[in-house]
Chain A
């Protein structure tokens, strides 16, 4: 699973970091960034999916890169 966090959408509700603190870090004002590049380890998928579904502004989405090589 790979996710994207759109920080232009994030409104600082901080719920993602409650659910999946290993994946999301917060700044002093509660706005989130990804700790890594969005690749989610299988063991973390449950927590991250919960964060994705619970984000009030839908700033977290599952990411599928544009198809390449044709």
Chain B
């Protein structure tokens, strides 16, 4: 069971805790689909608000929009709702329950960059039904909305994979340059933007985007999707949302992408820059709480095995590097690894960064580096065979570790 809510007493800008689909009438009644300011004014508004991308990279939204606008040719908007992170549910939930907020965001983005064509790229069938249904209710848009569904995959949500799929190819990343802002859909400058980023655009006239969507999983009483103010200390947030089921011993951050933090993570604020300064990251806003029985080496081995299975299989440094790091971590879990293996893991965690066409290998290397940095004692315990949980169970599961279920499909979207 996945809960949906806000921090008690906190603002609700993005989520509708009732779990129902917001209708066109309700969205308009709440101030949606207002007249748009001129593009220059809209760009200034986005820049002043400091909005950053919610897909994981936290890139300044206004800077990306200006780059698209400055490139040659008529731009395209690609709203990215293909949420490949197994520990995150927020994009699918937003598309399922607030399709008009997302579409209004697309409308703002199209006006800001001057696009006459916009794609909404999803893998979730319920999200597709919601957004296609919402788009069909709208007339007189200054751009053509098209909804595209791709098969779900970890790498399918990467921005060049999205562009490649819309262009008729496989949903696999391309090497850069060019980036989509230079040459994307049909060779046109393309704004690829996460759906949560876009959903913030219509709300900016009400003030800065002070909240984000957190997917909370692991050893918590109420796993779920929550809207939180940026900067909330992790422990404060988790306690206010129902607390943990065991004493927190660590955290898996940013989906799988921000790596591991030890118990000190509880004191850190949920903020892009504060977490980046600690070598971690908020990423797509997903946090998994680990307990003392969740051996961090075992967790890292399972996530690395996922990277090994789920990478695009295109770049040699990535398919070899993730396989090698996965084998080393699995050997650590099995308590058969030696010092030399650990030395190689340490070297790969530094030297493999930046060696892939997309960021998957960076995430894998950062995961290994974070394990070595945050849990040196636990790592050493695997060299001398003294990790109790791993002595009991050293299997590396084949499922995506700590995957979170999307909150139920709203009744309005069920077939039949």
Q: Report A's interface with B, CB cutoff 8 A.
A: 4-12, 27-31, 33, 38, 63, 65-70
Contact = CB atoms under 8 A, between A and B. Distances in A.
26 contacts: A5-B175, A6-B175, A6-B357, A7-B175, A7-B314, A7-B355, A7-B356, A8-B315, A9-B175, A10-B315, A27-B317, A28-B348, A29-B316, A29-B320, A30-B316, A31-B320, A33-B317, A33-B354, A66-B71, A66-B183, A67-B72, A68-B70, A68-B71, A68-B72, A69-B71, A69-B72
Given A63-B177, A66-B71, A69-B70, A11 B182 contact: no
A40 to B, nearest CB: 15
Closest 3 CB pairs of A and B: A31-B316, A8-B314, A7-B315
Q: Size band of the B side of the interface?
A: 20 to 34
Given A7-B357, A8-B173, A8-B174, A70 B316 contact: no
A29 B352 CA distance: 11
A65 B177 contact: yes
Q: Of B183, B320, B348, which is in contact with the most chain A CB atoms at under 10 Å from its CB?
A: B320
Nearest to A2: B177
A33 B317 CA distance: 9
Contacts of B321: 27
B178 interface: yes
Q: Of A5, A11, A63, A65, which is in contact with the most chain B CB atoms at under 10 Å from its CB?
A: A65
B386 interface: no
A27 B72 contact: no
Interface in B311-332: 312, 314-317, 320-321, 324
B250 to A, nearest CB: 29
A31 B323 CA distance: 15
A66 B316 contact: no
Contacts of A12: 316
Given A27-B316, A29-B317, 11 more contacts: A4-B175, A7-B315, A27-B321, A30-B316, A31-B316, A33-B317, A38-B177, A65-B182, A68-B70, A69-B72, A70-B72
Nearest to B175: A6
Nearest to B188: A66
A10 B320 CA distance: 13
A66 B68 CA distance: 12
Interface string B172-187: 1111011000110001
B167 interface: no
A5 B355 CA distance: 11
B182 A33 contact: no
Q: Of A8, A31, A33, A67, which is in contact with the most chain B CB atoms at under 10 Å from its CB?
A: A8
B351 interface: yes
A67 B355 CA distance: 27
A68 B355 contact: no
Q: Of B73, B172, B173, which is in contact with the most chain A CB atoms at under 10 Å from its CB?
A: B73
A7 B182 contact: no
B314 A31 contact: no
A17 B187 CA distance: 32
B316 A11 contact: yes
Given A66-B183, A67-B72, A68-B70, A7 B317 contact: yes
A10 B319 CA distance: 12
Interface in B43-97: 70-73
Contacts of A33: 317, 354-355
Contacts of A6: 175, 357
A22 B174 CA distance: 25
A66 B184 CA distance: 11
Nearest to B324: A28
Contacts of B178: 65-66
Nearest to A38: B177
Contact of B352 (A9, A27, A38, A65): A27
Contacts of A8: 172-175, 312, 314-315, 357
Nearest to A4: B177
Contacts of A28: 320, 324, 348
Nearest to A70: B72
A37 to B, nearest CB: 9
A4 B315 CA distance: 15
A7 B316 contact: yes
Contacts of B72: 66-70
Contact of B355 (A9, A27, A65): A27
